[in-house]
Structure 1
């Protein structure tokens, strides 16, 4: 028989009063929800140097072809730009992918045989920079994806959620993996159904959907619908995916026409990844100059907080070096050698939920607080 976790056993055995027990359970559920919400913010994508290709066998020829495709997949993820594959040096590197390869293996996943390859990320970043191509760091926005699909016959609209058995979930996961972005699907529970329904998404009511998605704490909210339309260009009915992408301040919209829902989802993910990369990736022109910047961060009053903040700043692709230059009470001053100026850096740091620009400047002689640390 499976044992109950110790901390739950103590709570249940100690408090027999149902009212007290219900309060304890409510606190536990609330805490779990808060933790889940906190984890939903943009976090580093750890698989940028990993390629994964579906194959039919384990022959040497198959391994060679899959290795080249995995290399191309990783280069696109690291750059955020599909156009990098047209670069002559990138093409040459793809045919000689072994010089960048760290490890590879075949794995069986259900009925699929996969070739997985790990590449030397720094060598690939150096390749991109040597060719004056874009580089996109690991810390990337997280989006919440509301997708409504209309049945061609009944015209019923249904949402694709975590609780649904839609075959499109796997397609979304694969497409986002290929481009190095993360899209969270709504849970599809009672709270979601009370806030947002399929008709809301079908109507692409961006403001309402964004405001009612705050429980997920994502950087972006996406609404998309897929249905049949008459295509004037081909003079026949085709499928169309219409979407919006918003962070509450800006909005991007578009419509894509295609022959299958799977293909439309893949094309949408490509457009979404390109949209984000244009905002957050580093241009070659930006990487040629070094800026000396200082960030004053309040509430850094323990060694754990200091180490966490230092790790975040060090992990940014735009950071060359970073060090603690001063500490006054709970305000830590970090000096960075950065490839981008301060305002560009702050755009990137908006993806870190625990670094928040102060709502008002507190009285602190001689120091302007750039951020307040909200984490542990």
Structure 2
């Protein structure tokens, strides 16, 4: 029995409606994901610096004691930026007696993994680092975008690790960056990404092109890395190698790492990346021996909400001793900021703030006055 034309027309129209709704949902999902990434990519405080997470096999007292020490060491490295800090005698002693710094601890079941999670007194640990003349790395840290291309060792095809891929390395990257207290986003892997950056672009480590085509993510740094088998002329044998670049559009760092597994290479890379950032942004005790005062003229601060956001940023800086609103003229708010680092060092730290833009011109009195424009809501 044939269906009537009227029934077929209604079914066709209903199918079209469902198709339109499905397309609208897909567009909305991609838009939401892109918006979320864009919002997340802004330099923001890393809030888990005083927390440590260690995978364990049981909840015994012995395991808790061992994991507690490891979690404390993890936090020490997060707050300092350099794993060699664990060789300090007083830090070793503190790790043995980590309970003195412990605020709370618990066991969390995450899938098939049992995790010991501990929270420590951050202020007390920072005091320990400063007492030992060791660097302290504040909560505001650069955001980064990580383009990673991996070559198949059989067919030599190259593929990108993205949020939309089913790569086994996504969880590893997330855990490794957590362990070091840094933010490293993975590309979404949508149509825009595939049109802008290909696996071959990343494999070629074309830093300038990749950086320029990653603007949509708004991160402070863009990182490109490739992993594959290379022939070592010196040993006349093949080896697994990760080659990478780190750039902020003005400077670039490159290096090569050799290892036995891709997972091991990725972990080594994250450690090198974190160490590089710490070398630029962590503050040494030798830098904090004097007090410096600078005036910040910030334009486009024309609402109370903007004023509060600017004030929150300035007061949250590790180097800040005191912040005061000196004057307000139309939309320009003038702050006096007292810090324990020179002005040039302060500028480097403030460059992490996406909403604060320093003009291209240089003031004659730039050693004591800095102009900025607020570009947020």
Structure 1 pair 185–31 and aligned structure 2 pair: CA distance change class (3 A)? closer
Q: Structure 1: how far apart are the matches of 2:235 and 2:110?
A: 39
Alignment check: 8 A CA contact 1:358 1:372 kept: yes
Describe the shift of the 1:359–1:49 C-alpha distance in structure 2 as closer, same or farther (beyond 3 A). same
Residues in 1 aligned to 2:235 and 2:263: alpha-carbon distance in whole angstroms: 20
- Structure 2 match to 1:163: 164
Structure 2 equivalent of residue 334 of structure 1: 335
Work out the CA distance in 2 between the residues paired with 1:105 and 1:199. 45
**Is the aligned partner of 1:47 residue 2:43?**
no
Aligned to 1:140: 141
1:99 aligns with 2:100: yes
Q: 1:308 to 1:59 in 2, by over 3 A?
A: same
Partner-residue secondary structure (3-state), 2:107: strand
Aligned to 2:215: 214
Cα distance in 1, alignment partners of residues 192 and 213 from structure 2: 10
Post-superposition shift, 1:231? 3.6
| Conservation of the 8 A alpha-carbon contact between 2:294 and 2:370 | no
Partner of 2:197: 196
The Cα shift of 1:318 comes to 0.5
SS of 1:133's equivalent in the other structure is coil
SS at match of 2:285: coil
1:369 and 1:269 map into 2 onto residues whose CA distance is 34
**Structure 1 range deviating more: 103-112 or 282-291:** 282-291
Larger Rg: 2
Distance verdict in 2 for CA 1:27–1:69, change over 3 Å? closer
Q: Where do 1:43-192 residues align within 5 Å?
A: 43-192=44-193
C-alpha deviation, 1:322, in angstroms: 1.2
Conservation of the 8 A alpha-carbon contact between 2:294 and 2:369: no
Measure the CA separation in 1 of the matches of 2:34 and 2:159.
25
Measure, in 2, the Cα distance between the counterparts of 1:319 and 1:214: 30
Structure-to-structure mapping, 1:23-38, within 5 angstroms: 33=34, 36-38=37-39
> Which string of whole-angstrom CA distances, capped at 9 and with x for unpartnered residues, describes residues 180-201 of structure 1?
1111001111111111111111
Aligned pair in 2 of structure 1 residues 223, 194: CA closer, same or farther (>3 Å)?
A: same
User: Matched residues in 2 for 1:328 and 1:102: separation?
Assistant: 45
Which SS does the other structure have where 2:117 is aligned?
Answer: strand
Q: 1:166 to 1:123 in 2, by over 3 A?
A: same
Please give the alpha-carbon distance, in whole angstroms, between the structure 1 residues aligned to 2:47 and 2:99.
21
Give the whole-Å Cα distance in 1 for the aligned partners of 2:246 and 2:155: 28
Contact persistence 1:136–1:280 (CA under 8 A): yes
Aligned residue number for residue 10 of structure 1: none
Q: Deviations over 1:74-121 (max 9, x none)?
A: 000001111110100000000011111111000100000000000111
CA distance in 2: counterparts of 1:77 and 1:187, whole angstroms: 27
Q: What TM-score do the two structures reach when normalised by structure 2?
A: 0.88
Matched-pair contact (CA < 8 Å) for 1:323–1:336: yes
Give secondary structure in 2 for the equivalent of 1:76: helix
The aligned residue for residue 242 of structure 1 is 243
Q: Give a deviation string over 1:249-283, Cα, whole Å, max 9, x none.
A: 11100000000000000000010001111111101
Take 1:133 and 1:29, find their aligned partners in 2: how far apart are those partners? Answer: 44
Cα 1:31–1:189, aligned 2, differ >3 Å: closer, same or farther?
closer
Deviation at 1:368, TM superposition (A): 6.4
**TM-aligned CA distance change 1:227 to 1:31, over 3 Å:** closer
Distance 1:170 1:35, change over 3 A: closer
Q: In structure 1, how many angstroms separate the alpha carbons of the residues matched to 2:331 and 2:120? A: 41
How many Å separate the matches in 2 of 1:32 and 1:270?
Answer: 28
> Do 1:295 and 1:370's aligned partners in 2 also have CA atoms closer than 8 Å?
yes
Q: How many corresponding residue pairs?
A: 352
What CA distance in whole angstroms lies between the structure 1 residues aligned with 2:39 and 2:354? 8
2:231 counterpart of 1:230: yes
Query: Which residue of 1 is the match for residue 4 of structure 2?
Result: none
Distance 2:216 2:285 in 1: 37
What is the root-mean-square deviation in Å for CA atoms of aligned residues? 2.4
- Deviation readout 1:332-373 (Å, 9 max, x if unpaired): 1111220111121111011111111135699xxxx9661111
TM-score by structure 1 length?
0.88
Q: Note the residue ranges of structure 2 that are not aligned, 5 or more in a row.
A: 1-16
**What is the CA-CA distance between 1:219 and the residue it aligns to?**
0.7
Gaps of 5+ in 1: 1-15
CA distance in 1, matches of 2:62, 2:233: 44
